[in-house]
């Protein structure tokens, strides 16, 4: 079984065509995606570096994680929405892109980990390493999609 | 007077060429640039939450600022260093990019905004330090800051696109003026 027919169907959707045919839509959506990444990446770095004891030691890790959560929810939602639009504009290229699959696998792991599992864990340091590795994989994959076009 | 000859000279230096052509270093510098942006943004977002009174209400604003500031400066410095390297890798095209120029203007405005905040309402912070919701001037500075930095990201991302590049003529004269293009008279 292969997912290629699904990707071909995505390529043919009218949303994908609209984004692809427009001069401005892709760049504007991509820049929005980048702003969402910046907020998400920044708050993830903060919370994880705090859990590792590297920054803001006077603030409790749990408080910081709680303060960062609304930003993370909003920025993940924005990143997923804009990411879907970007994906629909070039699914077949992405199907053959290794960094894209790295990003998808990391995302599939990190979203349940971050929002469901981690708040119930007390293993601060290990969870911070896992989080940094997975979110780092998402960001790395995303950035490298652009370089391997 | 134009800075163009300076950037042309930069483009001819061997390190600029190697950086531009390197398979790994350029993407790494670029990725570091984006990550340092994220670091800076994460701290801005948290500070923002405190300034609009949504989190850390019991922590005095000045304490939040003093704790976050060194990290914001670190993120900002890394952003400037990697940004200068990116400029050094592609000097002439970047110098003549309308988006790059717009980005510099926006960064300058963000700097003015931060300066006004620190010399103005923040100087009287002892009067409102423990207020759950800070005064209007502080919240306004905060909103400006967020809007400006989001615009900086947009302008920065757009540098990658070549719609207004000098080697794509004809362009409207305002574009050529803003980009500093040297166009042969027809």
User: What's the mean pLDDT in A120-144?
Assistant: 87
| Contact A149/B at CB under 8 A | no
Cβ of B35 within 8 Å of Cβ of A144? The answer is no
Q: Is B154 exposed, middle or buried (0-12, 13-18, 19+ CB in 10 A)?
A: buried
Residue labelled with tokens 């600029």: B16
Cβ of A143 within 8 Å of Cβ of B27? The answer is yes
For B101, the domain range is 4-179
In a domain, B88, yes or no: yes
pLDDT of residue B177: 86
pLDDT of residue B7: 92
Residue A68: closest CA among A81, A84, A55, A80:
A55
In a domain, B114, yes or no: yes
Closest residue in A to B147 (Cα–Cα): A35
Dihedral sign from CA coordinates of B148, B152, B153, B157:
positive
Cβ of B35 within 8 Å of Cβ of A139? The answer is yes
* B83-134 confidence digits (pLDDT tens): 999 999 999 999 999 999 999 999 999 999 989 988 888 888 778 877 877 8
> Quick check: B110 and B145 in contact, CB under 8 A?
yes
Q: How far is B50 from chain A (nearest CA, A)?
A: 9
Residues from chain B contacting residue A64 (CB–CB below 8 Å): 46
Residues from chain A contacting residue B67 (CB–CB below 8 Å): 56, 58-59
Cβ of B45 within 8 Å of Cβ of A42? The answer is yes
Helix axes A14-21, A61-89, angle to 10 degrees: 90
Residues from chain A contacting residue B30 (CB–CB below 8 Å): 143
Cβ of A39 within 8 Å of Cβ of B45? The answer is yes
Most confident of the ranges B50-64, B86-100, B162-176: B86-100
What's the mean per-residue pLDDT of chain B?
86
Most confident of the ranges A13-17, B114-118, B136-140, B142-146: A13-17
Percentage above 90 pLDDT, chain B: 35
* A77-105 confidence digits (pLDDT tens): 999 999 999 999 999 999 999 999 999 99
Q: How confident is the model at residue B155 (pLDDT cuts 50, 70, 90)?
A: very high
User: What's the mean pLDDT in A123-146?
Assistant: 88
pLDDT of residue B136: 85
Instruction: Report how many domains make up chain B.
Output: 1
In a domain, B185, yes or no: no
Asked if the model's pLDDT at residue A148 lies above 70, the reply is no
Cβ of A39 within 8 Å of Cβ of B49? The answer is no
Dihedral sign from CA coordinates of B63, B65, B71, B73:
negative
Q: Greater confidence, B186 or A51?
A: A51
Q: Is A89 exposed, middle or buried (0-12, 13-18, 19+ CB in 10 A)?
A: buried
pLDDT of residue A1: 63
Q: How confident is the model at residue B1 (pLDDT cuts 50, 70, 90)?
A: low
CA dihedral B156, B158, B161, B167 (to 10 degrees): -70
| CA dist., res. A144 & res. A98, Å (int) | 9
Q: Which of A38-47, A71-80, A120-129 has the lowest mean pLDDT?
A: A120-129
Asked if the model's pLDDT at residue A24 lies above 80, the reply is yes
> Quick check: B141 and B117 in contact, CB under 8 A?
yes
User: What's the mean pLDDT in A102-113?
Assistant: 94
Residue A83: closest CA among A23, A31, A137, A140:
A31
The distance of Cα B30 from the centroid of its chain, to the nearest Å, equals 14
Chain A interface test: which of B35, B99, B162 (most A C-beta within 10 Å): B35
Residues from chain A contacting residue B153 (CB–CB below 8 Å): 31, 34-35, 38
Nearby residues of B93 by Cβ (< 8 Å), 6 or more positions away: B165
In a domain, B184, yes or no: no
| CA dist., res. B61 & res. B51, Å (int) | 7
Residues from chain A contacting residue B43 (CB–CB below 8 Å): 42, 46
Chain B interface test: which of A30, A33, A35 (most B C-beta within 10 Å): A35
pLDDT of residue B78: 94
37-96 of A, contacting B, C-beta below 8 A: 37-46, 55-56, 58-59, 63-64, 66-68, 70-71
Q: Greater confidence, A144 or B80?
A: B80
Q: Residue A122 gets which letter from DSSP? A: -
Cβ of A39 within 8 Å of Cβ of B35? The answer is no
pLDDT of residue B60: 80
Provide the number of CB pairs (under 8 Å) joining chain A to chain B.
Answer: 87
């Amino acid at each position: 079984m292969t997912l290629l027919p699904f990707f071909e169907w995505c390529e043919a959707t009218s949303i994908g065509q609209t984004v692809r045919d427009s001069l401005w839509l892709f760049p504007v959506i991509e820049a929005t995606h980048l702003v969402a990444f910046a907020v998400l990446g920044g708050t993830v770095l903060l919370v994880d570096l705090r859990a590792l004891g590297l920054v803001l030691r006077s603030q409790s890790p749990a408080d910081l994680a709680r303060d960062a959560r609304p930003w993370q929810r909003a920025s993940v939602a924005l990143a997923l929405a804009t990411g879907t639009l970007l994906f629909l504009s070039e699914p077949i290229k992405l199907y053959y892109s290794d960094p894209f699959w790295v990003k998808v696998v990391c995302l599939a792991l990190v979203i349940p980990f971050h929002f469901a599992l981690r708040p119930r864990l007390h293993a601060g340091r290990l969870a911070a390493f896992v989080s940094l590795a997975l979110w780092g994989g998402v960001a790395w994959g995303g950035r490298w999609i652009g370089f391997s076009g | 007077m134009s800075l163009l000859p300076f950037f042309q000279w930069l483009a001819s230096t061997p390190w600029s060429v190697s950086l531009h052509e390197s398979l790994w270093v350029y993407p790494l510098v670029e990725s570091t640039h984006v990550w340092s942006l994220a670091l800076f943004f994460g701290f801005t977002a948290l500070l923002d939450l405190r300034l609009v009174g949504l989190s850390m209400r019991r922590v005095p604003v000045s304490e939040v600022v003093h704790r976050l500031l060194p990290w914001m400066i670190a993120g900002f410095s890394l952003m400037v260093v990697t940004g200068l390297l990116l400029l050094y890798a592609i000097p002439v095209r970047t110098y003549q990019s309308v988006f790059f120029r717009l980005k510099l203007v926006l960064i300058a405005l963000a700097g003015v905004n931060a300066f006004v905040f620190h010399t103005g309402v923040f100087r009287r912070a002892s009067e409102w330090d423990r207020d759950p919701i800070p005064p209007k001037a502080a919240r306004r500075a905060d909103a400006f800051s967020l809007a400006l930095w989001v615009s900086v990201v947009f302008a920065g991302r757009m540098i990658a696109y070549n719609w207004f590049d000098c080697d794509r003529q004809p362009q409207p004269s305002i574009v050529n003026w803003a980009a500093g293009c040297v166009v042969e008279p027809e």
